[in-house]
Amino acid sequence: MLEKLFISLEKIMPEKYRWLFSHNGVKRYFANTGWMFAGQMFYLLLSFFIGAWIARYLGPENYGVISYVVAFVGLFSFVSSLGVDGVIKRELINTPERHNELMGTGFRLKLLGSSIAFFLVVIASFFFSRGSSLIQALIILFGLSFFLQVPFIISNFFYAHVKAKRAIQAQLSAAIISSLLKIALIFAGGGVIWLVLIYILDAIWQALFLIYFYHRENFHISSWRFNKLLASSIWRDSWPLMLSAAAGYIYLRIDQVMVGQIMGEHAVGIYAAGVKLTEVFYFIPGVICGSLFTAIINAKKTNSKTYFGRLKNLYLLLFGLALLVAVPISLLAKPIISLVFGASYLASAAVLQLYIWSSLGLFVGTGVSHQLVAENRTKTIFWLNFGTMILNIGLNILLIPKIGLTGAALSTLISYIVSPLWLVAIGWKTGKREYRTS
């Protein structure tokens, strides 16, 4: 299918640009990007519709239990990865001759991170399970998935070698198997414990598929080697990324954990339904920025006026797309919730009407992050995420006890919008001043 699309684009392209389509490198990157986009779209849609079916089946109370457990354990995921994936991917591209050392060292580091994360989850479960032995058991059980995700490091090999197709195939194959198991669970009348086990099995399937495709490329896990000096070098580069990821994920999920702590599982289920509908659209800014930012970075190298002009157009595009998402969803929140999740989740409509507007900040914020990477201001990305996290937590503490789920949605909306817009305003002035003096 991607090959046919490539041929169609070649036919409609002006004559002077057709030479690009005869270039093998362009074909490889086109196919690679196509697989990433198509794979993510299919995965998100499959996860969304199966997730909505599960939510209908479980009801707000049990769906709230699952949502709370997944969000709570996810708060520790930054420890399990240690932020090494980006560094490993970079080094696999720069020093392919160290392949076995990089994979072996990365594997050991992620195994260490997973052990620490699991230990922290077990300890935290005694304090944040709200006195429920079921929730505590589910938190510990789901925490085991950290270990099963360690082989996911193989994905970095496929992305580094422009073979995203294999990583996407592994992800989709695992998702299809898990989706079938979830459907079987619904018809069999299974409970939340079985559902968490299916989540864990999803990690096992994906790991097995990744290992299989890796061996198909004539590489072998038995050849991996650990290098202590390399581990220290990777850690020096990865810990800022780990902290940035920590702040980012915490402000994405802390609201659900705090709703659970303050208001209980039923409230989490209602809140999570509104959040899930909003998150369906989160892939859009990533695809837009990934597609357009090469042209923007090229402009940065040559002409500051063109660079800032393209940035302005990017931000306007992202803001416009966010409006196109937010306006109809906000106006049609009740019928959408009723159609997707059922009448028992109608209280989610109020959450969705507010939460969907956080897309404005998230869409523009994605553009800001790409700009900061282009200008080599990665520390600012961390402070952006950290500041948003602190603001989100503070607003949740203040607003949830006063106005409930509306307070949680409003906290997310304010924190998502304030930080990116502040950075756009400040960063725009600073960047232009730097370019004028350079």
Q: What is the mean pLDDT of the chain?
A: 81
- Asked if 192 and 268 touch (Cβ cutoff 8 Å), the reply is no
**Are both 247 and 286 inside the same structural domain?**
no
Neighbours of 277 (CB within 10 A): 22
Instruction: Determine, yes or no, domain membership for 24.
Output: no
How far apart CA 209 and CA 169 sit, in angstroms, is 8
Cα dihedral value 134, 351, 333, 191, nearest 10: 0
Instruction: Determine, yes or no, domain membership for 7.
Output: no
Residue 13 pLDDT level (bands cut at 50, 70, 90): very low
- Asked if 257 and 96 touch (Cβ cutoff 8 Å), the reply is no
Confidence (pLDDT) at 424: 61
**Are both 233 and 361 inside the same structural domain?**
no
Is the predicted pLDDT of residue 245 greater than 80, yes or no?
no
**Are both 143 and 90 inside the same structural domain?**
yes
**Are both 219 and 289 inside the same structural domain?**
no
The single-letter code of the amino acid at 419 is: S
How far apart CA 302 and CA 306 sit, in angstroms, is 8
Tell me which residue of 417, 422, 130 sits closest to 251, measured CA to CA. Answer: 417
Of 33-37, 173-177, 320-324, 402-406, least confident by mean pLDDT is 33-37
Look at residues 253, 272, 296 and tell me which one is the last residue of a structural domain. 253
Instruction: Determine, yes or no, domain membership for 35.
Output: no
Of 151-155, 299-303, 388-392, least confident by mean pLDDT is 299-303
Residue 429 pLDDT level (bands cut at 50, 70, 90): low
Residue 417 pLDDT level (bands cut at 50, 70, 90): confident
**Are both 300 and 222 inside the same structural domain?**
no
Confidence (pLDDT) at 18: 45
**Are both 342 and 437 inside the same structural domain?**
yes
**Are both 239 and 357 inside the same structural domain?**
no
**Are both 65 and 159 inside the same structural domain?**
yes
Contacts 24+ apart (CB under 8 A), 226-229: 226/101, 226/104, 226/105, 226/108, 227/101, 227/104, 227/105
DSSP state of 431: H
Q: How many domains does the chain have?
A: 2
Confidence (pLDDT) at 426: 55
How far apart CA 432 and CA 99 sit, in angstroms, is 41
Instruction: Determine, yes or no, domain membership for 168.
Output: yes
Look at residues 233, 253, 273 and tell me which one is the last residue of a structural domain. 253
Look at residues 236, 253, 270 and tell me which one is the last residue of a structural domain. 253
**Are both 172 and 229 inside the same structural domain?**
yes
Structure tokens at 304: 């500051």
Instruction: Determine, yes or no, domain membership for 96.
Output: yes
Contacts 24+ apart (CB under 8 A), 346-350: 347/270, 347/405, 348/270, 348/271, 348/273, 348/274, 349/274, 350/274, 350/405, 350/406, 350/409
Instruction: Determine, yes or no, domain membership for 185.
Output: yes
Q: What is the pLDDT of residues 289-330, one digit of tens each?
A: 766 666 666 666 677 777 777 778 888 888 899 999 999 999
Instruction: Determine, yes or no, domain membership for 4.
Output: no
**Are both 249 and 322 inside the same structural domain?**
no
pLDDT exceeding 90 applies to what percent of the chain? 33
More confident residue, 121 or 37: 121
More confident residue, 141 or 294: 141
- Domain extent at residue 351: 281-438
Confidence (pLDDT) at 423: 63
Of 75-84, 236-245, 318-327, least confident by mean pLDDT is 236-245
**Are both 93 and 213 inside the same structural domain?**
yes
**Are both 285 and 246 inside the same structural domain?**
no
How far apart CA 168 and CA 31 sit, in angstroms, is 12
- Asked if 388 and 369 touch (Cβ cutoff 8 Å), the reply is no
Instruction: Determine, yes or no, domain membership for 270.
Output: no
Look-up of token digits 């959450």? 351
